[in-house]
Structure 1
Amino acid sequence: MALKASLKYCHERNQNLQEGLKELIEENQQLMQQLQTTGNFAQPDYEAARDRALARLKTGRQSTAGKAIDGFIKELKSTIVPQ
């Protein structure tokens, strides 16, 4: 019984994460569209985007996902040069 409940929880959590990820992808597409139409190439607030993403995924900054996002932000900041 415990295994069945655990699997159900994991399945529900997976669905929630997928829904949150879908929302983030849609938001990213909207922001990219906005960037292309406005021509505003200001440096985005990556930390705020990270916090929103982690909140939607109900994951903390110390989690694996939070650490991965922090690494990604660091790499973005070091490689992306505004045009």
Structure 2
Amino acid sequence: MGKNGLNNIEDFLTNDRFISFVFEQTSSLKEYWDDYLMLNPEKKSLAIKAEQILLNELDAPGMSSGEQEELKERILNTIKGF
């Protein structure tokens, strides 16, 4: 991924690898994004805001864990369609 590949929040929100990182937090994805943000520190605030947007959707009051999982799947499937 080039330095200019993620220039705004929407770029992060539509990046399959970023979406997977936010929801799955595997060690390989964590390492990838840690490295990316270390090499591109100007992108860190965008990544944090995008992550907050995604996670806030899942932390909606009154949602059961099943509903949260369903929403997560819907987000991932929608993003994969891009």
TM-score by length of 1: 0.33
**Structure having greater relative contact order (Cα 8 Å, sep ≥ 6):** 2
TM-score by length of 2: 0.33
